[in-house]
Structure 1
Amino acid sequence: MKNSLLTGAALLALSGTAWAQGPVSGTVTDARTGTPLPGATILLDGTPSAATTAAGTFTLPAVPAGLHELRVTYLGYEALVQNLQGQAAEQRLALALQPGGVAIGEALVTASRANDRTATAYTNLGRQDLQKRNFGQDLPYLLDQTPSVVVTSDAGAGVGYTDIRIRGTSNTGINMTINGVPLNDAESHGSFLVNLPDLASSISSIQVQRGVGTSQNGGAAFGASLNISTLDNRREAYAETQNTFGSFNTWRNNVSFGTGLLGGHFTVDGRLSRIASDGYVKRGASDMKSYYLSAGYQGKSTLLKFITFSGREKTYQAWNGVPEPAITGDRALLQQYIDNGELSTADAERVLREGRRYSYYTYDNQTDNYQQNHYQLHLSQGLGEDWNLGAALHLTRGFGYYESYRANRKLVDYGLQNVVLGDTTIKRSNLVDRKWLDNYFYGGTFALNYQPREGKLQATLGGAWNRFTNDHYGEVIWAQYASNGSIRQRYYFNDAVKTDYNAYARATWQVLPILGVYGDLQVRRIRYTIDGVEDDQNDVTTRAKYLFFNPKLGATVTLAAGQQLYASYAVGQREPVRSDFTDRPVGDQSAKAEYLQDVEGGYRLTLPATSLFGPVTALRFEANYFYMKYRDQLVATGQLNDVGTALRTNAPRSYRTGVELTGFASANDKLSLSSTLTLSRNRIQDFREVTYDANYNPITAAEGRTTTISYSPSVVSAHTLEGQPVRGLRLALLYKTVSRQYLDNSTSEDRRIKPYQVLDFRARYTVRPQFMKEIELGLLLNNVLNRRYVANGYTYGYPGPDGQQQTFNWYFPQATRNFLASVGLKF
């Protein structure tokens, strides 16, 4: 890790970016009068990237080389859209808007996005940023180079089930929205992007906010938020296809199309995709299909758009991971797994044979099968010169099951009678079951935006009402001894209903030319009920209500042109997840809501053009400090319920604090470098671990101690070096480092993920022949140095025969050197 720190320091000293090239500045005026238009929004490739000053001027400090779409929107004016060619030299534009239009789509995007006025740490990624990273891997892998991000893949190759952590916070604490509509599961709080394969091919922009951020719809942003927009309007007709093949028989094929603007009012866009892979882990295959379709009407001051997208996935269950002896080859440790019943003798033989690619499951249909259909209806309406309204209705339909082979299970646990054959009573059977989810998520969101011509005060009043209903049930579809069972014998059922509504008011006010202030107040109310029994036949009836008030305040100070200081304070609160209720003893609803106070402060430097370090055309640097103080954070202490499931307990005090450094620069359009480095300290105070004696009686530590929060590396860095040796060919090296992580909160060296460093190589070559718009050839070589590393895992333990604690670690090994090659065609 010393090497990674030195590398990070050296790269940050250079401060570069793979996508930053030459600066673009200009003015935005009224086409009739020539009057400057302050507060106009400048979008680069669909991402809000700047706003005009009181004098109507704007600056984009770093525009990538290549062709881009520049869009300028302002209330009461027609949107201006033109192509922009990124280049090393500074460009100045004079843009004039025609009166009479609406800021198309802006009411839907602005409401959830942070900007330089909101004193928040964030990263914007536009369509071009995503396209150059997109080889068919899941969305988290496209965000791997953004600050404080750690990604992992169950099957090891970035296809199928993947996960993302930001500042050590898992996706259950990352608020995700698509066009302002919540994506997180209402019960588990997780966002399962495996249900939306190839979504990145339909995204126009993403904003990653770190910390509590601005108020969002849906679940709490307890460490970060991802705001995804698919609302791009492409005015020219197009047809595209992307095709990828790579290691582990990985395939990605898609076709995208759009009509452009028809009759000055209508647009239709669509996509069909298929992604399949055998996975790095044996029997870790995935087969996923998806579509995206949008149809919109654009009037003088109105945008109405219907969007539907869907994903269907079938993945072999790789989520059990790989036992530690498969990673280390330790035969003595392997015997411990056998002696304790964690592995059979046959399993152990496969561990030795398959090594780190071992899969626990051998049943040929041990699969997860799920489909998720999304329907959204969006309205963006101009209301005079200074106001606009964004509103949406949405419905998400989800249904599916995972199928499992169960060996030697008690018949009575499945509602089946024991089988009597003569003098023999059969109480157990091998069987296959399916555990189902069948749910609906529906509601509405709105955002009323005030953006006056003078631009000093901007405000939003918004909110949402959402309801989630979910049936959980299990069926036995085959049993060696069926007893009195029927076809699809149902052995448990419970239904859940969750209603979530919130309202927020947000404003930024430029008090002085150098001072701006920001305020954001949110009220959120949740009602959650569960009725029925879980698969262990326990009654999981739950009644819970929560009312949260989440204030946020901030200020920005402009020190000089291109230099800004900012600071903010925000409160976030989060209700317990479903398992915090269902895994506890009957009637125990003691899990309390979590409370977070987030302090952020930082410095931003943007130099549009300088020769300070040689032929540099743009330079940007940001240092962000954060202190996230938790009260009643739900953490694992080692406590188990009566069937051995780990429980989470409210820790009175814990915190995350650190600094995030990001920088970028480019030497004309031939060479560029970007770096991000996070140094953090993540601690639980007064932690009291629970262990068990030889008789399985719990023992709580008499004295509390300060310990490291699980899955929270103290050092994370990402660096990208990119060059263009010849026209149309772009080569990039991507280097990622992650320091040691612990699998639980004990800070035990026996329960950890070792530090790792990974180097990837990317090449894209683009030609534009006369008979079509573009042909692009791409190559992504992952893990160039062939590192054998793991990025995730879990742990549990029991007292051994001598009363000493025995630890059992399971890991998710990531693929050794592998490749993805792509061909893209644009018509």
Structure 2
Amino acid sequence: MVILPLICLCTNKKKNLKRLVQLSILTLLSALNGAVFAQSDTLDLNEVVVKSTRANAKTGMAYSTIREGEIAKQNVGQDIPFLLNQMPSVVVTSDAGAGIGYTGIRVRGSDATRVNVTVNGIPFNDSESQGVFWVNMPDFASSVSSIQLQRGVGTSTNGAGAFGASINVSTLKYSAEPFAEINTSVGSFNSLKTNVMASTGLMDNGFVLDARLSRIASDGFVDRASSDLKSFYVSGGYYGKDNFVRFNVFSGKEKTYQSWYGIPQSLATGDADGFQAFIDRNYYDENFKSELLASGRTYNWYQYENEVDNYQQDHYQLITSFKIGANWRFNPTLHYTKGRGYYEQYKDGRSFEDYGLENVVIGGEVIDETDLIQRKWLDNDFYGAVWSLDYEGQGKLTGSFGGGLNKYDGDHFGEVIWAQYASNGNIRERWYDNTGVKTDFNIYGKGFYQFSEKLNAYLDVQFRNVGLEIDGTTEILAPLSTDDTYSFFNPKFGLNFNIDKANSVYGSFAVGNKEPSRQDIVDAVFSSNVKPKAENLQDIELGFRHLALNTQFEVNGYFMNYKDQLVLTGAINNVGEAVRVNVPKSYRAGIELQVAQKLGEKMLLSVNTTLSSNKIDAFKEFIPSYDGETPDAVNAFDDTDIAFSPNIIAGGSLTYKPAKGLELALLPKYVGKQYLDNTSNDERALDAFFVNDLRVNYSFKPKGLKNVTLSLLVNNLFNVEYESNGYTYSYLYYGLITENFVYPQAGTNFLAALKIRM
């Protein structure tokens, strides 16, 4: 099967040498025997699949889209959140401090559990936690053709409810021409990224095959916060004139040393008095104090050599699109995701009773605790189907119907893999085991109606039904059995009016509903015993756009009114995780400004700024007491700020192209003060920070190659010391004690990259 295409290639050795290299990388091409590479006019056919989940100028909503070319400029090793850092209302963070490993993103103050993420229209949020773990998809950006960030409720139709934003990722665009590509990045903290990519391009017989193999490794800015990340992506498709079938297989395997604890804020900020008070009240000795001071901002609490998070996730997507008659298109998609892995931790002085084990008796002495090593496992399957039926008439009305049915089946269990005293436990003693099964069904209809040349309307209605069953034993050895069902109706309406060719105004009203997470339900059973309520959001967006040749301007105002929003209380559960509680009324209101101005032929200035107010009408803070004398405290607050919701966020870029193929960009980012809880207490806050990155890209086309690109990314150019994330907890112990922990980000660091495309 391989011989015949190689003979065809060798008829003109010089012309086809590069193609032989491409074929050697993609041996699967043997199935496409004797095919000839060709251009195609069907490059946009893929867009119909993600059309139903994407916003456009007619939806009356705030959104930003970053395309393949812009992604490639920034994609030198950091995770996807850091590639979106310059988008409006975005704040990113990294546990390891340098954008590799565990990273996070907040939009309008909403964290990952409240951001709806889809990949090719398929839900990507974890069904139970509702979070998004980008570390499970290392170097995925190298296979991405576009990312759209919709702020607010957006047009989300599949997956978790969007309470701050929607991120829609597409990998479906293909190259018309064949290529093979090698990428290498090196940088600070022994960071190294390597990948190889190749594509057949679209052939005359309609087939295309793309592939990527990647590895990213980094020691991290924080001590021992290393990452060893591997992934691959293979996609094969057949494209007819109006139809296509595409099968994607991609996988990520991550092994990251944990850096989840953070460091005391007083250590991060150099507050000597505050740091000494921290040492004294926690009864730490001088040796430990010296250890903390020696490491400073890079200190990592975890010392055990295998304190790692080890997880693999495999994705399978069958994506199709069929034209039906003159005006209809049917887009069915099947998907399956397999995830499995654990995180391992060393624990000292643990009670046998906490693990369901018997005390040990040695020489008449009763030993009731032991040092041990535990693994907490997650083994899950997520599968289902999403579909849309699009009406593509030439009249005033266009629209689509669609929906999805998805199921998640997850096993949670813990193992003791070593103990100083084994008691009656076995190797890999399983001390807890429970399952979570979640079904998610939705159906929607959306349409656009063109009233006139200038005015159009958008209407979207969605019904969503969610069922969650949890059964088994929790890690505190308590039985748990719950079966909850939620039904939601989510309407959206938008208007867009084109004043003239350059100017338009828009507005929209959208409703979003969201079920509690698994952890919210578990915490409620064992703490307040009050079942958490589903959350409701009413989102109003109003905006003006000016799109001219050299100037683009947009101002968007929003009011996001929440009912029963789940917010942090300041309390923690039995395993040290933060507890959330419903608050009846809260809101986020703000103005987002975006300006892009061409400054001559070689320079472009882009600026975005968000000014906002994020408030809870009434909030009660719970403070536990541990001294046995003082009662627990409950403090009431009115009109208080929502945690991690800065009032000012600004970003942008100043791009200069001094010569052909050479581009320099200064990327500034300002994030205002962020409160760590909902008390508006300045003593529990992250300071505002202003950092600048520098990006340099130089591309040229040497003889015999399609393209060579040299890239340099200097992060935190002026070596600012700042923290972008943290947590706080308070308790009573003969007085009020508050502990703030933060995650320092790296000072000046760099990544340099070389890309060769053949």
TM exceeds 0.5?
Answer: yes
1: CA distance between counterparts of 2:580 and 2:422? 37
2:594 matched to 1:662?
A: yes
Question: In the alignment, what sits opposite 1:492?
Answer: 432
Change (3 A) 1:227 1:382: same
| RMSD over equivalenced CA pairs, Å | 1.7
2: CA distance between counterparts of 1:213 and 1:81? 35
2:746 matched to 1:824?
A: no
1: CA distance between counterparts of 2:330 and 2:67? 24
2:745 matched to 1:814?
A: yes
Question: In the alignment, what sits opposite 2:180?
Answer: 239
Structure 1 residue 319: Cα displacement? 1.1
Question: In the alignment, what sits opposite 1:510?
Answer: 450
Q: Which of 631, 636, 644 in structure 2 is aligned with 1:697?
A: 631
Q: Which of 473, 478, 481 in structure 1 is aligned with 2:418?
A: 478
Tell me if structure 1 keeps the 8 A contact 2:144–2:170.
yes
Q: Which of 280, 290, 300 in structure 2 is aligned with 1:359?
A: 300
Question: In the alignment, what sits opposite 1:548?
Answer: 488
Q: Which of 557, 561, 565 in structure 2 is aligned with 1:625?
A: 557
Tell me if structure 2 keeps the 8 A contact 1:758–1:785.
yes
Question: In the alignment, what sits opposite 2:401?
Answer: 461
SS in 2 for 1:523: strand
1: CA distance between counterparts of 2:660 and 2:575? 63
Report Cα offsets for 1:383-404 as digits up to 9, x if no partner: 1121111110000000000000
SS in 2 for 1:823: strand
Structure 1 residue 417: Cα displacement? 1.1
Query: Aligned residue pairs: how many?
Result: 718
TM-score under structure 1 length normalisation? 0.85
SS in 2 for 1:215: coil
Tell me if structure 1 keeps the 8 A contact 2:443–2:462.
yes
2: CA distance between counterparts of 1:184 and 1:555? 30
2:706 matched to 1:766?
A: no
2: CA distance between counterparts of 1:342 and 1:814? 28
Question: In the alignment, what sits opposite 1:35?
Answer: none
Aligned 1:101-112 pairs, distance under 5 A: 104-112=45-53
Tell me if structure 2 keeps the 8 A contact 1:175–1:216.
no
Report Cα offsets for 1:43-88 as digits up to 9, x if no partner: xxxxxxxxxxxxxxxxxxxxxxxxxxxxxxxxxxxxx978xxxxxx
Report Cα offsets for 1:658-684 as digits up to 9, x if no partner: 000001121354111101000000000
Structure 1 unmatched runs, 5+: 1-79, 83-96, 609-617
Report Cα offsets for 1:723-780 as digits up to 9, x if no partner: 1111111111110000000000011111100000001111111110111111111111
Identify the range of structure 1 (376-385 vs 339-348) with the bigger mean alpha-carbon deviation. Answer: 339-348
Question: In the alignment, what sits opposite 1:75?
Answer: none
Structure 1 residue 343: Cα displacement? 5.6
Identify the range of structure 1 (383-392 vs 192-201) with the bigger mean alpha-carbon deviation. Answer: 383-392
Q: Which of 653, 656, 663 in structure 1 is aligned with 2:585?
A: 653
SS in 2 for 1:543: strand
Q: Which of 569, 578, 590 in structure 1 is aligned with 2:518?
A: 578
Residue identity matched to 2:665:
A
Tell me if structure 1 keeps the 8 A contact 2:156–2:166.
no
Aligned 1:160-199 pairs, distance under 5 A: 160-199=101-140
2:331 matched to 1:390?
A: yes
Q: Which of 271, 274, 277 in structure 1 is aligned with 2:212?
A: 271
Question: In the alignment, what sits opposite 1:136?
Answer: 77
Question: In the alignment, what sits opposite 1:432?
Answer: 373
2:471 matched to 1:527?
A: no
Report Cα offsets for 1:538-572 as digits up to 9, x if no partner: 22322111000001111111111111110100000
Residue identity matched to 1:564:
S
Identify the range of structure 1 (492-501 vs 536-545) with the bigger mean alpha-carbon deviation. Answer: 536-545
Structure 1 residue 140: Cα displacement? 0.5
Structure 1 residue 586: Cα displacement? 4.2
SS in 1 for 2:291: helix
Tell me if structure 2 keeps the 8 A contact 1:102–1:301.
no
SS in 1 for 2:457: strand
Residue identity matched to 2:255:
K
Question: In the alignment, what sits opposite 1:305?
Answer: 246
2: CA distance between counterparts of 1:763 and 1:623? 30
Residue identity matched to 1:824:
K
SS in 2 for 1:130: helix
2:386 matched to 1:452?
A: no
2: CA distance between counterparts of 1:186 and 1:526? 10
1: CA distance between counterparts of 2:382 and 2:278? 42
1: CA distance between counterparts of 2:102 and 2:480? 28
1: CA distance between counterparts of 2:341 and 2:284? 29
2:687 matched to 1:747?
A: no
Residue identity matched to 2:745:
Q
1: CA distance between counterparts of 2:570 and 2:530? 19
Structure 1 residue 336: Cα displacement? 3.9
Change (3 A) 1:181 1:642: closer
Change (3 A) 1:197 1:102: closer
Question: In the alignment, what sits opposite 1:712?
Answer: 645
Structure 1 residue 342: Cα displacement? 8.2
Aligned 1:314-333 pairs, distance under 5 A: 314-333=255-274
Question: In the alignment, what sits opposite 1:792?
Answer: 725
2: CA distance between counterparts of 1:452 and 1:826? 41
Structure 1 residue 331: Cα displacement? 4.5
Tell me if structure 2 keeps the 8 A contact 1:278–1:285.
yes
2: CA distance between counterparts of 1:734 and 1:347? 39
Tell me if structure 1 keeps the 8 A contact 2:476–2:574.
no
Report Cα offsets for 1:553-604 as digits up to 9, x if no partner: 1111111111111010000000011111112344935100010000000000
SS in 1 for 2:499: strand
1: CA distance between counterparts of 2:279 and 2:731? 14
Aligned 1:4-403 pairs, distance under 5 A: 104-341=45-282, 346-403=287-344
1: CA distance between counterparts of 2:133 and 2:377? 16
TM-score under structure 2 length normalisation? 0.92
Question: In the alignment, what sits opposite 2:10?
Answer: none
Q: Which of 601, 607, 610 in structure 2 is aligned with 1:675?
A: 607
Q: Which of 663, 684, 699 in structure 1 is aligned with 2:616?
A: 684
2: CA distance between counterparts of 1:809 and 1:406? 23
Report Cα offsets for 1:187-217 as digits up to 9, x if no partner: 1110100000001000011111000011320
SS in 2 for 1:412: helix
Residue identity matched to 2:683:
D
Structure 1 residue 340: Cα displacement? 4.5
Tell me if structure 1 keeps the 8 A contact 2:66–2:148.
yes
1: CA distance between counterparts of 2:172 and 2:577? 43
2:661 matched to 1:734?
A: no
2:505 matched to 1:565?
A: yes
Tell me if structure 1 keeps the 8 A contact 2:632–2:732.
no
2:688 matched to 1:722?
A: no
2: CA distance between counterparts of 1:214 and 1:630? 18
Structure 1 residue 373: Cα displacement? 0.2
Larger RCO: 1 or 2 (CA < 8 Å, sep 6+): 1
SS in 1 for 2:154: coil
Residue identity matched to 1:509:
Y
1: CA distance between counterparts of 2:207 and 2:576? 58
2: CA distance between counterparts of 1:148 and 1:125? 15
Tell me if structure 1 keeps the 8 A contact 2:571–2:729.
no
Structure 1 residue 514: Cα displacement? 1.5
1: CA distance between counterparts of 2:125 and 2:601? 40
Tell me if structure 2 keeps the 8 A contact 1:140–1:163.
yes
Question: In the alignment, what sits opposite 1:40?
Answer: none
2: CA distance between counterparts of 1:218 and 1:229? 16
